[in-house]
Structure 1
Amino acid sequence: MSPTPEQRRAARHQLGTGSSAPAARRGPSGGRKKPITVDAIISTAFAIVEAEGYDALTMRRVAAALETGPSSLYAHVVNKEDLDELLIGRLCAGIDLPEPDPAAWRQQIAGVCTQLRDQYLRYPGISRAAFAAAPSNLDTLRVGEGMLAILLAGGIDPQTAAWALDSLSLYVNAYSLEVSLANSRIGRGDDGWVVSRDELLRRFAALPDTFPRTKRYAVELTAGTVHDRFDFTIGLMIDGLPGSR
């Protein structure tokens, strides 16, 4: 008897994402099309997100792109949440984890966060797939293990390091999602919600006097690029960890 999707998922968690055995195609197209595998499903899903955004990603949409029916996907992927986990795992597989260095741990943990950010920003909105998901994919867990090792090398006590890992990951996910949403609005020409710095300064200057600080510090409030703010916040979070050295 062929393994169930749940059994395939359990095997992936033990052995990595890997390729699964191809599913046989049914219908007149027969074997003339590429076989359905986990890797083919993941690659197709990424192509959809890259072209249309994460909101467009559904099991039915992936099946249509592969010129098959959703039932063919369920031979390999349990459901949409399982697909999300595979996508985040594939992105995490591309993260380079340094050997923890007590003398450079701050730069190392910030560098891993930056890599995660850049991976997420390649695919609009995909960081949503990482929210509210308990990590079980080995590639995702590998990144968590590496980040935890860096924090511990910096002299952070285990409980603080564990919560810092959660906080840093949550910020990277949220930041990436916000940037993706802003870029999507810009792409749609939705200028009413995404404005330039000059326009924002003009709006602040036009505020009534009941906003004295916003008017006075408008330049500071609007300074820097979004990545400048990312670097600032990550640095603030790292430097604020108790027990760091």
Structure 2
Amino acid sequence: MASPPQRRRAARHLADAGPTTRPGPSAGRKNPITVDAVVDAALGVVEREGYDALTMRRVAAALETGPASLYAHVVNKEDLDDLLIGRLCAEITFPEPDPRRWRQQVGEVCGQIRDQYLSYPGISRAALAVVPTNTETLRVSEGLLGIVLAGGVDPQRAAWAIDALLLYINAFCLEVSLLNRQADPDGWVVSRDEMLRRFAALPDTFPHTKRHAGELTAGTVMDRFDFTIDLMLAGLDGQ
């Protein structure tokens, strides 16, 4: 038989499920521990210290309680990851699908997801590990699917394209968070000028890299994000 927290997790995945109301060890506190309070504390940890710092013990400390208190509301770290991504996905808004602007609409939604993840350094690692069962997380794929289908894309190609888009967004945000963490005087990140110098110093066995060093190092990370999203969506035209 499933434990009470697991039953509550299953209930959260139902569209008509209400908030968790069962009191845990925090009963009687001025600010009782709830699922939302746990998620708020966890997001605070990630925002301040990065996803690598997120543990059940660290969240409990932020709530001034013990880790055992959290398990009355959250099953485990994986459940917490699911809740975190669901909370961020709940902030995503969707336009009414427009067959004439579907590619632009998908790009705008992808930009929203990117911005949510970049606000919490490294949290896209949680998105990569989460099986999408949270209704808010599923709402994102549902919304994207509706837009792409409105553009006349075959359902199978649309489904796989959305999976690829979300995977790219997750990977992009993870890379940016890693680069930002390393962007210090002693880190491994180098400037564009330094990259150009290194490419220019390559032997002649790298003729294309030396000749097109400017193109290889051009643009901001956001320029490359927009280019890649456009490139992926362009592959769905003329199917």
Corresponding residue for residue 21 of structure 1: 21
CA–CA separation in structure 1 for the residues paired with 2:205 and 2:22: 66
| Contact kept? 1:17, 1:86, Cα under 8 Å | no
| Structure 1 position 208 matched with structure 2 position 207 | no
CA–CA separation in structure 2 for the residues paired with 1:166 and 1:70: 35
Deviation, structure 1 residue 33: 4.5
| Structure 1 position 92 matched with structure 2 position 89 | yes
Q: Percent identity?
A: 69
Superposition map of 1:70-85 within 5 A: 70-85=67-82
| Structure 1 position 217 matched with structure 2 position 226 | no
RMSD of the TM alignment (CA)? 1.7
CA–CA separation in structure 1 for the residues paired with 2:158 and 2:36: 34
Aligned-partner SS, 1:156: coil
| Number of aligned residue pairs | 237
Aligned-partner SS, 1:172: helix
Structure 1 residue identity aligned to 2:89: C
Q: Structure 1 regions of 5+ residues with no counterpart?
A: none
The more displaced of 13-22 and 224-233 is 13-22
Deviation, structure 1 residue 18: 6.0
Q: Which of 102, 107, 120 matches 1:105?
A: 102
Deviation, structure 1 residue 110: 0.7
Deviation, structure 1 residue 32: 4.8
CA–CA separation in structure 1 for the residues paired with 2:140 and 2:116: 13
Superposition map of 1:68-217 within 5 A: 68-186=65-183, 188-191=184-187, 193-217=188-212
| Contact kept? 1:44, 1:65, Cα under 8 Å | yes
Cα 1:184–1:18 shift into 2, 3 Å: farther
| Contact kept? 1:91, 1:119, Cα under 8 Å | yes
CA–CA separation in structure 2 for the residues paired with 1:158 and 1:15: 24
CA–CA separation in structure 2 for the residues paired with 1:11 and 1:100: 30
TM-score, normalised with respect to structure 1: 0.92
CA–CA separation in structure 2 for the residues paired with 1:56 and 1:62: 10
Deviation, structure 1 residue 82: 0.4
CA–CA separation in structure 1 for the residues paired with 2:217 and 2:17: 43
Deviation, structure 1 residue 205: 1.0
1:95-122 superposed Cα distances (whole Å, 9 cap, x missing partner): 0111100000000001111110000000
Aligned-partner SS, 1:131: helix
| Contact kept? 1:135, 1:141, Cα under 8 Å | yes
CA–CA separation in structure 1 for the residues paired with 2:205 and 2:17: 56
